[in-house]
Amino acid sequence: MRLLIIGTLEGELGQAARIAAARGARLAQAEGVAAALARLRGEGADLVLCELAHDIGWLVAQMAEERIACPVIACGRNADASAAVRAIRAGAKEFLPLPPEAELIAAMLQAVSGEAEGPICRDPLMAALLERARQLATSSANLLITGESGTGKEVLARFIHNESRRARGPFVALNCAALPETLLESELFGHEKGAFSGAVASRKGKFEQADGGTLLLDEIGEMDPRLQAKLLRVIQEREVDRLGGTAPVKVDVRLLAATNRDLGTEVRAGRFREDLFFRLNVVTLRIPPLRERPGDILALAEHFARRFAAANGLPRRGLSPEAEALLLAHPWPGNVRELENTLHRAVLLAGGPSIGAEAIELTPLASAVAPAPPAPAAPQAPAAAPARGVSALVGRKMEEVERDLILETLTHCLGNRTRAAEILGISIRTLRNKLHEYRAQGVQVPTGHPALLPAGASSADG
């Protein structure tokens, strides 16, 4: 993970930097917010730690104006309570008290980067996949990672990077479904100052930021065909053309792509370029859904329980036998991400010496993964009465019903747009456009509940 420190590395902030480095973070340092902004344009970062003495509000505002997505965490002594509150109101995601605590920094890094210690695995099916991934990691081949939403595709991609010869280089991830086409092009390839409205300074794209390392393009199936053609050229020529640039820039990047779509089907439907598919699909690694690797359920649950207890300053509690039975019986349509959210809730709700069954709140989505049983044969009725739930919709406008369904599904998914789009059977672009319409109408759009999301995580996810 790339960590940018704003302030001096002497004293307590330096201690925090050294703890983060010991946990595997790659450090960069800037003396002030202007220098930090320049580094973010050129090198990017996954997380920023900024001393309270600096103008955090100005930095957050500039980052928003230039569309630089990176959480900023304010750092200072607990005695600086008023300054900490001002920093949070100015846009800082969290406040890190100094002197730093190693466990708190570890939880913070995990929340930003995912599974910092690598995949949690006890099931033989997942163990075989990790062994195959370890074997392929030493090559330079492009890999395609497939699997349902929430199975851990980015976690596997980080594992491959850490096992590769590029492990000392940067690991950069970009969710192709999280940005509209115009912004995605700039994020991927970079731009020069004045290339478009809002391009107030030159900025490197993700390919340049990942030079010498690994670039993960998540949700690659959502990429617009025009950008697919440009991406294909970058793969073939190993050079990028910045928006507004006059000369190509050479890059040395190992490309990993991830998707929950069947790209073969997308190719046949004309939505994905066949030549790009074959460029990406040198080897495919399919992550099995959690219901196909039940041996991992309790191992992951225990891991998440420990992590969220530490992150929330709560005592560590084991799972009761009744809670374990509930977890093992659930089909997990949301996979590891659903399990993670379930355990986060359970840690917050548990009150006894262990996490009991009463703290396990499961989502009723078994029908999303299990086929409905065949209906028994019945004589035809002249006019069957409609179901009560359907009859309640009579008299309402179609757009109102659609809006309520979309918003309720998004709430159910804790603000996870990728998962909501999958349940609704629509593309992430369609969902994003609908939500934009609702906001324009003054409708409140659900986001991830802050108590149920890791620090620095985005409710727009992936």
As a CATH number, domain 124-288 is 3.40.50.300
So what's the pLDDT on residue 122? 93
Q: What is the mean pLDDT of the chain?
A: 82
Residue 133 φ/ψ, nearest 5 degrees = -65, -40
Separation of alpha carbons 161 and 114, rounded Å: 14
Q: In the CATH scheme, what architecture does the domain 291-368 have?
A: Orthogonal Bundle (1.10)
The string of pLDDT tens digits covering residues 198-246 is: 777 888 899 999 999 999 999 999 998 889 999 999 999 999 998 888 8
As a CATH number, domain 395-452 is 1.10.10.60
Report the Cα 101 to chain-centroid distance in Å: 25
Q: Which residues contact 174 (CB under 8 A, 6 or more apart)?
A: 184, 187, 188, 206, 215, 216, 217, 218
The string of pLDDT tens digits covering residues 361-403 is: 987 654 444 443 444 444 444 433 333 344 456 566 777 788 8
Give the angle subtended at the CA of 408 by the CAs of 258 and 271, to the nearest 5°: 35
Q: Which fold would CATH assign to domain 2-113?
A: Rossmann fold (3.40.50)
411 in Cβ contact with 444 (< 8 Å): no
SS3 call for 97: strand
Domain boundaries in the chain? Answer: 2-113, 124-288, 291-368, 395-452
Separation of alpha carbons 327 and 185, rounded Å: 42
446 in Cβ contact with 411 (< 8 Å): yes
Q: Do the two domains 124-288 and 395-452 of this chain adopt the same fold? A: no
Nearest to 153 by CA among 124, 180, 176: 176
> Both tokens of residue 187?
């994020």
This prediction has a pTM of 0.66
Separation of alpha carbons 344 and 355, rounded Å: 11
The string of pLDDT tens digits covering residues 425-439 is: 787 778 888 888 888
Separation of alpha carbons 327 and 356, rounded Å: 11
158 in Cβ contact with 147 (< 8 Å): no
448 in Cβ contact with 459 (< 8 Å): yes
So what's the pLDDT on residue 300? 95
So what's the pLDDT on residue 80? 67
pLDDT in tens, the chain (462 residues): 788 999 888 778 888 888 888 777 788 889 899 999 988 888 888 889 988 888 888 998 888 888 787 888 888 876 667 777 888 888 888 888 878 777 677 666 666 654 445 788 999 999 999 999 999 999 989 999 999 999 999 999 999 999 999 988 889 999 998 778 778 888 899 888 877 777 778 888 999 999 999 999 999 999 988 899 999 999 999 999 988 888 899 999 999 999 999 999 999 989 999 999 999 988 999 999 999 999 999 999 999 998 888 777 788 899 999 999 999 999 999 999 999 999 999 999 888 899 999 999 987 654 444 443 444 444 444 433 333 344 456 566 777 788 888 888 887 776 778 778 877 878 777 888 888 888 878 787 876 543 333 334 444 444
So what's the pLDDT on residue 116? 45
320 in Cβ contact with 328 (< 8 Å): no
Q: What are the angstrom distances between the C-alpha of 151 and each of 97, 157, 228?
A: 34, 12, 25
